[in-house]
Amino acid sequence: MGLYDLYKKLIDRKLTKFYKNKSDLYKYSTGHLLIKHYFGHNGHQTNLKTGNIGFGWLHYALIQAIKPERVLCIGSEQGFIPAVCALSCKDIQKGHVDFVDAGKRSNEAKSWGGIGLWKDCDPKKHFSVLGVNKWLTPYIMTSKKFAKKYKRKYEYIYIDADHSYKGVKFDYKTFWPRLAVDGMMGFHDICLKGLSGGEEYGVWKLWKELGEKNKISFIIGDNSLGFIQKSK
């Protein structure tokens, strides 16, 4: 049960003095909260009207199945997939998400959709709305600095940061050796081509280089997501 669902029950049973106020907390289910507060609209096949979290279900389900000790999420505009992953860890009472983002603003080079949120807000407070602070730790720094400072191993890694070929290949080469055998690594925007802010998309190129073994791709219109499993 998410925070919004719990709050709705408290309101319905008049266990809170705010029950007369049909506030935003009452209007939204956990799915709506994830999409609205963590901006799941962009590229994840979500539906705010129904609360369907789209590609978020894939991350949620894989974490439920793998039951990782540690999850790494690199890059997120407002925290949608890191929040989903943390919620899945919370629901199975196992695992912890390391969320890494450089916090770049849209007017900075290689921002790749970043709006500077993580430097303008308190990331812990931002995620506390979902009640997942125990299951997620934000690191507002580049993946290069994070990799140098922390030498952790992971069973689940999701990459949605620097979308240039050079950038995504750095993240792949840096963190693939830290992925456990049978672990999963996911990439967002595996089919996007063209330019963004003067920078050329390159995730598609790396995804092609990785071959076909142990891979699965989800491509729906302009939205795309790919997973590769590490074998022995």
Residue 98: helix, strand or coil by DSSP?
strand
Mean pLDDT rounded to a whole number for the chain = 89
pLDDT at 196 (0 to 100): 79
Query: Per-residue confidence at 79, pLDDT binned at 50, 70, 90?
Result: very high
Structural Rg of the chain based on CA atoms: 18
Between CA 90 and CA 136 the distance in angstroms is 9
Site of tokens 């199945």: 65
| Whole-number pLDDT of residue 19 | 37
pLDDT at position 27: 52
Look at residue 21 in the predicted model and tell me its pLDDT: 40
> CA–CA distance from 35 to each of 81, 115, 209, 226 (Å)?
10, 17, 32, 20
* % of the chain surpassing 90 pLDDT: 75
Using alpha carbons only, what angle is made at residue 231 by residues 221 and 74, rounded to the nearest 5 degrees? 50
Domains of the chain in sequence order = 54-229 (3.40.50.150)
Question: What is the token pair recorded at 24?
Answer: 């935003």
Residue 222: per-residue pLDDT: 85
Name the residue with higher pLDDT: 54 or 16.
54
Distance CA 184, CA 157 (A): 6
Q: Are 104 and 111 in contact (CB under 8 A)?
A: yes
In tens, the pLDDT along 110-119 reads 888 888 999 9
pLDDT tier at 23, thresholds 50, 70, 90: very low
> And the tokens for 68?
């990782």
**Can you give the pLDDT at residue 91?**
95
Note the pLDDT of residue 198.
81
Q: Say whether pLDDT at 125 is over 80.
A: yes
Compute, in degrees rounded to 10, the torsion defined by CA atoms 193, 176, 184, 55. -30
Query: Given a cut of 90, is residue 11 above it in pLDDT?
Result: no
Q: Are 54 and 45 in contact (CB under 8 A)?
A: yes
Whole-prediction pTM value? 0.88
Give the per-residue pLDDT at 106. 83
Angstrom distance (rounded) from CA 108 to CA 223 = 24
Task: Identify the CA nearest to 206 among candidates 196, 192, 195, 219.
Answer: 192
Q: Is the pLDDT of residue 22 over 50?
A: no
